Structure 1
Amino acid sequence: MKKFFALALSLTMALSLASCGSSGSASSGAASGGSASASGSAAATVETVSSGKLTVATSPDFAPYEFYAIGEDGKPQLAGFDMALAQYIADYMGLELEVVPMDFDGVIMEVGMKNVDLGMAGLSPDPSRANAMDFSDLYYEGGQALVTVKGNADKFASFEAVNDPSVSVGAQTGSIQADLAQENSPNASIIQLAKVTDIIAELLSGKLDAAYIETDVAKSYQKNYPDLEIVLDVPYDVAGSAIGVVKDNAPLMEAVNAAIAAAKADGSLEKFIAAANEQASGEKYEGLLDENGNVQADAAAASASASASQAG
């Protein structure tokens, strides 16, 4: 446990919210009116893994949910509407926010091991994850998509076309998209990769023929890589995102759901989503930082390579 928290990235998130232009609505909304009384009682009654803190695991390779926005000084800053909502929830509860970035499958594992309080990574409340975590109310409704490049858009415009052993189909490890790939393309060569950024790079370089990606995430990547094409909406029974809450902590669940309702009611969530989409269209980095808090050199090189490939 001590080793785990030594690796945690503590964030005030105020700078992320300020860059989103919504700091006032989140902070002041959580510190006054109905939210103020709620936060006072929540901080006193909710047990968290670290006293006085709300510890959130995330996978920052999933814009506009969570990613690193690159500032004018060239430094990466954690951003995205999941992260803005995480700060809102912490403020609502009167707790300090601590965010722990990791690979997506690690988010599910750490919540399941009760090393963190919440998992916020565009999580779908799939029943297969019920043993690892409880789920909050839905805070965002999205969709699922099959993505390829423009040159292959006609060729891979149906599930039948990609359901072939000669076709390579990508999906993120441990994700709902991996399940959808197995469900809709069982005969394809399914390649699971840890990061969505890796999937995009493989698509653009031609190493993958198609990929299953969350719709708004795919649209975010399209803004940077216009060669990407969404060819199909993928049917999925659970269309939406929820917060993974550590199991058997009813007071925490109640406080999280109350904060989600408050963020919807006061318009903060809508602002978070709009701001994150705008930020995601600018310079960003998706993936884990190195031990010094910088963009990893090999990841930056891969991104540059993908851009060059797309431009060519």
Structure 2
Amino acid sequence: MKKTMALVVGMMMAASLAGCGAKNESKTVDDIKKAGKLVMATDAAWAPFEYIADTDTPVGSDIDLAQAIADQWGVELEIINTAFDTLPQYLDNGKADIVIAAMTITDERKEQMAFSDPYTVSTQYIIVNEADTSVKTIEDLAGKKVAVHLGTTGDFLVSDEIADGCLKDTGAEVVQYKNLTEGCLALQKGDVDAVMLDLLAAQNFCAVNDGLTCFEAKYADGSSTKEEYGIGVKKSNTELVKAINEAIKPMVENGSIDASIEKHKELASLLEQ
């Protein structure tokens, strides 16, 4: 990497985040250049997008993307690695300029933050044990315990279907984990029956763990759960959104983001879980 990357590990509780000198003003690219750094908040548990490899410093295609933006603006990249469900608070209190964490653009999240144009697409996947042939569709999760990563679109999907959808009154149960790996390990131990998570994360986990299989989460009628990932910024930072869109547009068009995803997909599959 061309610039020095600094790592800030943040696992603070929501209350402490809100009370630590919040900065409510909008930030521009000029402000970031004056500070000399672009601060990115992420949750390094989503290989190949962000994960921990040989050191405590997160790596992954989302890190490459943030570094490319920082390089374009002539600043260093600083990373805050924290819990996924706390990420919007780092934008609100001014501790982070951007959030990149394999985050799906949704209407609910647009109420909390602004998003860049999509930089890649994904879909939800289901992981089950290879011996389990009972699950083929989302409706087949009826009566089963489904692990999800708290605050993710997998969590939203399963929770919504149980509350008022195809899994309502079926005995299905959502089990929320603060850590993606914990949810997958719960499946291996038999504490849950399935895991709902994003495509590449599911494929990576199955690639490095025997006895598991994964497949696209589709409904019985064949409809899918296609998603678009975006870069989150503070809701009022419309100028910063515009600058980010200008920065990532050529990378989307020339395929460099997709190439980085494929590179880290291969690298992450070699790691021991």
TM-score by length of 1: 0.71
CA distance in 2, matches of 1:236, 1:219: 17
- Stretches of structure 2 that go unaligned for 5 or more consecutive residues are 7-26, 162-166
CA distance in 1, matches of 2:185, 2:39: 31
**1:127 to 1:49, Cα distance in 2 relative to 1, 3 A:** farther
Query: Residue 12 of structure 1: which of 4, 24, 46 is its match?
Result: 4
Q: Does 1:246 align with 2:234?
A: yes
Note if contact 1:156-1:231 (Cα within 8 Å) is conserved in structure 2. no
CA distance in 2, matches of 1:193, 1:176: 13
- State which drifts further: 244-253 or 95-104: 244-253
| CA deviation vs aligned residue, 1:254-288 (integer Å, no higher than 9, x gap) | 1211111122244432331121111111126xxxx
Q: What is the CA-CA distance between 1:13 and the residue it aligns to?
A: 4.5
Task: Provide the residue aligned with 2:245 in structure 1.
Answer: 257
- Stretches of structure 1 that go unaligned for 5 or more consecutive residues are 1-10, 15-42, 285-302, 304-312
SS of the residue 1:213 aligns to: strand
Q: Does 1:122 align with 2:102?
A: yes
CA distance in 1, matches of 2:260, 2:31: 27
Identity value in percent: 27
Note if contact 2:199-2:216 (Cα within 8 Å) is conserved in structure 1. no
**1:50 to 1:69, Cα distance in 2 relative to 1, 3 A:** farther
Query: Residue 180 of structure 1: which of 134, 157, 162 is its match?
Result: 157
Q: What is the CA-CA distance between 1:232 and the residue it aligns to?
A: 4.1
Q: Does 1:103 align with 2:80?
A: no
For 1:250, the aligned partner's letter is T
**1:229 to 1:46, Cα distance in 2 relative to 1, 3 A:** same
Structure with more of its chain in helix, by fraction: 1
Note if contact 1:62-1:217 (Cα within 8 Å) is conserved in structure 2. yes
Q: What is the CA-CA distance between 1:50 and the residue it aligns to?
A: 8.0
For residues 217-232 of structure 1, the aligned pairs below 5 Å read: 217-232=201-216
**1:228 to 1:12, Cα distance in 2 relative to 1, 3 A:** farther
Note if contact 1:47-1:252 (Cα within 8 Å) is conserved in structure 2. no
Note if contact 1:172-1:196 (Cα within 8 Å) is conserved in structure 2. yes
Query: Residue 52 of structure 1: which of 20, 36, 54 is its match?
Result: 36
Aligned residues: 240
